[in-house]
Amino acid sequence: MRLWLVLLSTLSLGSLLSSAAQAPADLAPHPPLGWNSWDAYGLTITEPQFRDNVDVMARTLKPYGWQYAVIDEGWFLKNPLDLKTPDKVAYEIDANGRYNPVPERFPSAIVDDKNQGFRVIGDYVHSQGLKFGIHIVRGIPREALKQNTPVANSQFHASDVADASDPCPWDPTNWGVRNTPAGQAWYDSLMAQYAGWGVDFIKVDCISDHPYRPSEIRMIHNAIVKTGRSIVLSLSPGPVSPGIAQELTPYAQTWRISDDLWDYWKNARHAPRSVHDQFELAAAWTPYAHDGAWPDADMLPIGYLGPQPGDGEARQTRLTRDEQKTMFTLWAVMRSPLIIGANLTKLDDWTTSLLTNRDVLDVNQYARDQRQVAREGDTVAWTAAGKGDVRYLALFNLNDRDKTIKRTYSFYNLPAISYKSRELWSNEDRGRSDSINVTLPAHSCILLELTP
């Protein structure tokens, strides 16, 4: 059996990271934990549906550290299911060309006969002890250019801002934004609007790959800083190349490392990425995860995905229980943001158990020095450091058959000769030993807490 040991040069990578100015780490000192509407509702989320999910999140998940409730794409569309037919798409924009939520879908937007945006919804999320997020596509609405609307608090108009040669190739709503003072004024206006709504998290799409637009990333970051509000900036989609990590970390707190991931274990025919695919990317991105900067392996397509998921028909996740646990464990040990895709109003006991395991969540939030240390064919090993001398060891069987693993702990470069071990998913104490001997079913994993 051939062995690939992954040796990371932490000294050289550390010097690379320190050479670039970093975004404030206190914006996201730990990987964000939250929920996003896309996997369950696609473009169609409404205010009652969102509030219902927020209520479940506050009641069931907030005690375990889950914070962000995010409305994904399409909140400004009057007819969201017609998005792929540009001539039929209808928007809700204000006098300054900025999108507003559609009142028919978000009735609380209307205050004193005027569309006040998401301010009321933001207040509601905050009243539940949670944080509020929204999704946008980079750029300026095409309708704003058609009307040549003025840019708020500036001398510019939409015609000064829009770059009609740079649309998002897969979204018909916006034009690109010029890297000029007018472009910066546009994003200043936009982020000021969102800060006024109480937004704490902004997912910006069509900006970090196909195409990559660093000038717009910088303008958005600068505009957020000007608001004086703490707003996490999350970039999408992937795959972002590790080669541009140093360009991203001064400006964004999370960025997607892959294209869209859905509930497929392998060979996803209808989706760009599968869970199996993420292991290689996760290993490559490990050196770039640090306080305030988190490579994002994408949302967790678990639980019930419906009534109108962003991909396919409404369904219970296609992933088996072992596959869900493997996905969650990889995301946890690589310290990816954990963003739930399930319809929270239909949480079952199994899905809830995944989301409320404090020990596994602590690995995601507080571990350090996480890395893939070995890959032997379809057997993958990760380690991370916990408090004091505690270490974590995650072993994954990516094969379609059961796999027996017999290795000493020293094989995985763990510092002590022997450890007392506890499996974090089952809370099973496994005694003290100098080695691991375990048989893993196909597509399953084990996550051990090791104490010298």
Residue ranges matching CATH 2.60.40.1180 in the chain: 372-451
pLDDT at site 363? 99
What is the C-alpha end-to-end distance of the chain, expressed in Å? Answer: 30
Q: Which of 137, 208, 148, 146 has its CA nearest to residue 176?
A: 137
Question: For the ranges 92-101, 213-222, 260-269, 361-370, which has the lowest average pLDDT?
Answer: 260-269
Helix (H) or strand (E) holding 135: strand 131-137
CATH architecture, domain defined by 372-451? Sandwich (2.60)
* Per-residue pLDDT at 83: 87
**pLDDT, tens digit, 9 for 90 and up, residues 376-427:** 999 999 999 999 999 999 999 999 999 999 999 999 999 999 999 999 999 9
Portions of the chain given CATH number 3.20.20.70: 21-366
Residue 318 neighbours by CB distance under 10 Å? 14
pLDDT of residue 336: 99
Percentages (nearest 5) of helix, strand, coil residues in the chain: 35, 25, 40
For range 283-292, the mean pLDDT? 96
- The single-letter DSSP state of residue 102 is -
User: Residues 105-146: pLDDT tens digits?
Assistant: 999 999 999 999 999 999 999 999 999 999 999 999 999 999
User: Over 50: is that where the pLDDT of 3 sits?
Assistant: no
Domain boundaries 21-366, CATH class: alpha beta
Q: pLDDT value at position 18?
A: 32
The pLDDT score that the predictor gives to residue 7 is 34
Tokens of 303: 């639980």
Predicted confidence band of residue 369 (pLDDT cuts 50, 70, 90):
very high
Residue 242 confidence (pLDDT) above 90:
yes
- Provide φ and ψ at 77, rounded to 5°: -95, 130
For residues 135 and 99, the answer to whether their CB atoms sit within 8 Å is no
Quote the DSSP letter at residue 372.
E
Average pLDDT, the chain: 94
Q: Which helix (H) or strand (E) holds 14?
A: helix 10-19
- The per-residue pLDDT for 168 is 95
Question: Strand, coil or helix: what is 92?
Answer: coil
- Exposed/middle/buried for residue 452 (C-beta within 10 Å: 0-12, 13-18, 19+): middle
- Rounded Cα distance between 101 and 88, Å, is 18
What is the rounded CA–CA span in Å between residue 110 and residue 47?
A: 12
pLDDT for 25: 63
Alpha carbons 176 and 161: distance in angstroms, whole number = 8
**Burial label, 180 (beta-carbon count in 10 A; 0-12, 13-18, 19+):** middle
Q: Across residues 96-109, what is the average pLDDT?
A: 98
pTM tops 0.85, yes or no? yes
Angle between helices 119-127 and 47-56 (to 10 degrees): 20
Q: In sequence order, which ranges of 337-431 are alpha helices (DSSP H)?
A: 349-355, 358-366
